[in-house]
Amino acid sequence: MKDPKMMSWFEPNFSCPNLWLRGIPGAGKTVLTSMMVEEAVRLGSCTFTYVYCKYKDGRKDNFKAIARALLNQMVRTNQDLVPHLYEECVSSGQVVLDSEKQLRTNLKKVCQCLEDSFLIIDGIDECNTVERRKFLTFVPPIVGKAKDVQENTMRGLFINRDEGSIRRMFSQAVIRKIGVNDNSPDIRSFTALQVSKLVEKFEISEAIGVKLISMVTGRAKGELV
pLDDT of residue 32: 85
* Mean pLDDT in residue range 94-111: 82
Judge contact between 192 and 213, C-beta under 8 A.
yes
pLDDT of residue 113: 79
Least confident range from 47-51, 65-69, 77-81: namely 77-81
pTM for this entry: 0.79
Domain boundaries along the sequence of the chain = 4-178, 182-220
Q: How many CB atoms lie within 10 A of CB 21?
A: 25
pLDDT of residue 135: 94
Q: Taking Cα atoms as reference points, which of 67, 69, 56, 62 lies closest to residue 130?
A: 62
pLDDT of residue 219: 82
pLDDT of residue 149: 45
Contacts (Cβ under 8 Å, ≥6 apart) of 176: 3, 5, 6, 19, 20, 21, 22
Largest interatomic CA distance in the chain = 75
* Mean pLDDT in residue range 136-165: 79
Q: Could you tell me the fold of the domain covering 4-178?
A: Rossmann fold (3.40.50)
* Mean pLDDT in residue range 103-118: 84
User: What are the pLDDT digits (tens) for 168-216?
Assistant: 888 888 988 887 777 777 778 888 898 899 888 888 898 898 888 888 8
Place 129 in a pLDDT band, splitting at 50, 70 and 90: very high
Percent of the chain with pLDDT over 90: 25
- Runs of H (alpha helix) within the chain: 4-8, 29-43, 63-77, 82-92, 100-113, 129-136, 139-149, 164-169, 180-202, 206-220
Judge contact between 143 and 119, C-beta under 8 A.
yes
Q: What is the rounded CA–CA span in Å between residue 168 and residue 157?
A: 16
Q: Give the number of C-alpha atoms closer than 13 A to the C-alpha of residue 150, restricted to the C-beta side.
A: 9
Q: Taking Cα atoms as reference points, which of 8, 5, 3, 10 lies closest to residue 153?
A: 10
CA 165, distance to chain mean position in Å, is: 17
φ, ψ (nearest 5 deg) of residue 156 = -120, 135
Q: What is the rounded CA–CA span in Å between residue 139 and residue 146?
A: 11
DSSP string covering 103-129, please? HHHHHHHHHHH--SEEEEEE-GGGS-H
